[in-house]
Amino acid sequence: MNTHSIRFRLTAWHASLLIGVFLLLGALMYFGLKHYLEASLGQTQMRRARQIGGTLVANLQPKDETNLVSEIKSLYAPETNDRFIRVTRPDGSVLYASGQPKDLSFNPAGLPVLKERPEKESLRKEMLPDGRALLIAAINYAATSGQRYLVEVGSPTISMETMLGQLRLQLLIGLPIVVLVAVGGGYLLVARALAPVEQITRKAEQITQHNLSERLPVPRSADELERLSLSLNHMISRMEEGLLNSKRFVADASHELRTPLTVLRSELENLVVREGWTAEMPECLGSLLEEVERLAKIVERLFALSRLDAGEAQAEWVRFNLAELAATTADQMNLMAEDKGIAVTCKSSLEIAVEGDRARLKQVVVNLLDNAIKYTPKGGTVHLSVRSHNGHAILEVADSGIGIPPEALPHVFERFFRVDQARSSDLGGAGLGLAIVKSICAAHGAEVEVESKLSQGSLFRVKLPLAGKKP
């Protein structure tokens, strides 16, 4: 038996609680009854002793002592009523003492005379030589003559003890029954309550990465267990989605790498079979180089993404001026834009302080400007701006390019997504630039969004917390 299991511990708790309550109630009942019986027996004896004192002893003269004896016998008949009565003179000699009762329930012979008389009244329990106990009420009564007589009235406690003994026996018989019910009932109750946990555990043990679409059973009990299995199921869903994403990512990555590799291979095969240095050779080598560059770019971007996934963006955390970074980057990209006849303009405030990895945030500006230049036809414009608004630095890259169709807008930040596969590949894109932008932004607590109209242009907006303002 597993003594650490919840089943065992709850059963043990339940059983000990019930047994504890039973013992406590039993003890309260037993001692309560004992106290009550003793008190009422004591009161009865005291009442009788007062009665004898008030009626027979009060006016007692030494010469009337024989009358007292016969009056006690006729009025109280202690032997017939199983009672003990004794009257002791002031000098300590016994005036009257009742004998053994008819039912022989006790034998008062040998009951010692009280050495110290009580001031007025007292109640005591005396053990008789025959092993029985007497509860005796004693009154030190002053007669009108001034003499003090000690009146003692007692009754055996045997019937009271029999009653208490019976109660003890009943409690003793009841205890094992209570233990049995507490342990058995507790075990069944806990087993019932924990049955869904058993089912959930068994199912959870069966779920592996190959059957992540399966779910744990949800007990419709509106309790903690229902919440637990619902949360676990949500967790499995998230894991399934993550696994699917990474599978898709690996498949997309291998697909992207395969195309340039196939081109490289066939071009190299052509070179091998060709004899001598032909006129097409430099052109052929140039195209090989282009493919190698494309491959290198994809690998570099994949590497950047995997590092961002591993949470490395915090490595070079510094405070810097985003406005200045944007302006210098726009200057550098201008060369590329001039070749295409596109004007890149930049408008920014003097200082917009942000905190983050400077190199990675520069990558964001480069990727957005690169796309804007790539997807804007000759003669178009690209405009970069940085401003601060409501505790945020707002960086916007707007172009007058080809725009993005509405159905593609929600997907542009996904890995390997390209609106027009063929044209994007021609421009050297593998659909990773915006995915990198999104990952960098997420690592900086920033948001990135896009607005676009087909054939009119696009606007990418990055919202980054200003330095000192927590995202």
Based on the shown chain and the rule CB under 6 A, indicate whether residue 294 belongs to the binding site for ligand ADP. Answer: no
Q: CB-wise, 216 or 386, nearer to ligand ADP?
A: 386
Least distance (Å) between residue 369 CB and ligand ADP: 9
Stretch that binds ligand ADP, among 67-75, 162-170, 189-197, 410-418 (CB under 6 A): 410-418
Q: CB-wise, 235 or 427, nearer to ligand ADP?
A: 427
Distance CA 146, CA 148 (A): 6
Least distance (Å) between residue 191 CB and ligand ADP: 57
User: Exactly one of 308, 384, 395, 412 binds ligand ADP (CB under 6 A); which one?
Assistant: 412
Q: CB-wise, 30 or 417, nearer to ligand ADP?
A: 417
Q: CB-wise, 297 or 307, nearer to ligand ADP?
A: 297
Distance CA 107, CA 110 (A): 8
Residue nearest to ligand ADP (CB): 429
Task: Report which of 410, 431, 432, 435 is spatially closest to residue 420, judged by C-alpha positions.
Answer: 431
Task: Report which of 269, 270, 268 is spatially closest to residue 288, judged by C-alpha positions.
Answer: 268
Give the number of residues in contact with ligand ADP, rule: CB under 6 A.
Answer: 22
Residues 300-329 that bind ligand ADP (CB under 6 A): none
Least distance (Å) between residue 230 CB and ligand ADP: 36
Least distance (Å) between residue 358 CB and ligand ADP: 21
Task: Report which of 382, 379, 377, 349 is spatially closest to residue 365, judged by C-alpha positions.
Answer: 382
Q: CB-wise, 187 or 417, nearer to ligand ADP?
A: 417
Q: CB-wise, 35 or 411, nearer to ligand ADP?
A: 411
Least distance (Å) between residue 374 CB and ligand ADP: 6
User: Exactly one of 153, 305, 330, 404 binds ligand ADP (CB under 6 A); which one?
Assistant: 404
Least distance (Å) between residue 383 CB and ligand ADP: 12
Distance CA 446, CA 471 (A): 7
User: Exactly one of 355, 458, 462, 463 binds ligand ADP (CB under 6 A); which one?
Assistant: 458
User: Exactly one of 143, 325, 352, 402 binds ligand ADP (CB under 6 A); which one?
Assistant: 402
Q: CB-wise, 87 or 372, nearer to ligand ADP?
A: 372
Least distance (Å) between residue 370 CB and ligand ADP: 7
Stretch that binds ligand ADP, among 60-68, 70-78, 355-363, 399-407 (CB under 6 A): 399-407
Least distance (Å) between residue 265 CB and ligand ADP: 23
Least distance (Å) between residue 367 CB and ligand ADP: 6
* Secondary structure of the chain as H, E, C letters: CCCCCHHHHHHHHHHHHHHHHHHHHHHHHHHHHHHHHHHHHHHHHHHHHHHHHHHHHCCCCHHHHHHHHHHHHHHHCCCCCCCEEEEECCCCCEEEECCCCCCCCCCCCCCCCCCCCCCCEEEEEEECCCCCEEEEEEEEEECCCCCEEEEEEEEECHHHHHHHHHHHHHHHHHHHHHHHHHHHHHHHHHHHHHHHHHHHHHHHHHCCCCCCCCCCCCCCCCCHHHHHHHHHHHHHHHHHHHHHHHHHHHHHHHHHHHHHHHHHHHHHHHHHHCCCCCCCHHHHHHHHHHHHHHHHHHHHHHHHHHHHHCCHHHCCEEEEEHHHHHHHHHHHHHHHHHHCCCEEEEEECCCCEEEEEHHHHHHHHHHHHHHHHHCCCCCCEEEEEEEEECCEEEEEEEECCCCCCCCCHHHCCCCCCCCCHHHHHHCCCCCCHHHHHHHHHHHCCCEEEEEEECCCEEEEEEEEEECCCCC
CB of 100 within 8 A of CB of 134?
no
Least distance (Å) between residue 432 CB and ligand ADP: 6
- Residue span 413-452 as binding mask against ligand ADP, x where in contact by CB under 6 A, dash where not: ----xxxx---x----xxxxxxx-----------------
Q: CB-wise, 160 or 368, nearer to ligand ADP?
A: 368
- Residue span 347-386 as binding mask against ligand ADP, x where in contact by CB under 6 A, dash where not: ------------------------xx--x-----------
Q: CB-wise, 85 or 412, nearer to ligand ADP?
A: 412
Q: CB-wise, 52 or 435, nearer to ligand ADP?
A: 435
Using CB under 6 A as the criterion, which residues of the chain lie in contact with ligand ADP when the complex forms?
A: 371-372, 375, 399, 401-404, 412, 417-420, 424, 429-435, 458
